[in-house]
Amino acid sequence: MRLIKKRHSCVRLEKDGRTLVIDPGVYTEEDATEGADAILVTHEHADHFHEGRLRAGLEANPAAELWTLRSVAEQVSAAFPGRVRTIGHGDAFTAAGFDVRVHGELHAVIHPDIPRITNVGFLVDGSLFHPGDALTVPDEPVETLMLPVQAPWNKISEVIDYVREVKPRRTLDIHDALLAELARPLYDTLAELGGAEHTRLAAGDSAEV
């Protein structure tokens, strides 16, 4: 499949003429969901779930469906009856021709004073894993790990150890909108300590995965 990097944690996956979009949030381009056949959302935080971006994709394609956890589904299901699927850890489904398995239950800890919310990760076609805002380790092999490199809830040593635990063949950066360009080369070098092939794509760039 072809992966197109969008800003922050959003990616578009294309295969056999169909398109799957994951986590179109507030930092993501306004056209991120254009032409989407299915949309997946890992959790309710605005940098992963922007209702306007989501609605644009679902309204443009009456056959498009959304797969997400209950906290997001409850906010949009009334507007799109029969097209919003509520999922959770352990579920498996097919969306726009992509096979998806769900891993994870909770958002990473930001601070003990901040209540944790639900968060799921998506393993697509048994190959590519998008963890959302958590360092979830799937109980099955991962070829390409979408790597959240910078966030209020992580530090680089945890990111490195996460790669070592998952043991993917390659990592691709996500969750990077707040990372200054000045810091990019340093983060590239540190990410390589995880032991996997590391790639950073600019918004709009693509790769075969």
Instruction: Decide if 88 contacts 106 (C-beta within 8 A).
Output: no
pTM of the shown model: 0.97
Domain at 2-208, CATH homologous superfamily: Ribonuclease Z/Hydroxyacylglutathione hydrolase-like (3.60.15.10)
179 pLDDT band, cuts 50/70/90, is very high
146 pLDDT band, cuts 50/70/90, is very high
Distance CA 73, CA 189 (A): 38
Instruction: Decide if 28 contacts 50 (C-beta within 8 A).
Output: yes
pLDDT in tens, 92-138: 999 999 999 999 999 999 999 999 999 999 999 999 999 999 999 99
Residue found by looking up tokens 């922050």 in the block: 8
Strands (E), the chain: 2-5, 11-15, 18-22, 38-41, 65-68, 84-86, 92-95, 98-103, 121-124, 128-130, 144-148, 170-174, 197-199, 206-208
Distance between first and last Cα of the chain: 6
Identify the three-state secondary structure at position 84.
Answer: strand
Domain layout of the chain by residue ranges:
2-208
Instruction: Decide if 160 contacts 193 (C-beta within 8 A).
Output: yes
pLDDT in tens, 31-80: 999 999 999 999 999 999 999 999 999 999 999 999 999 999 999 999 99
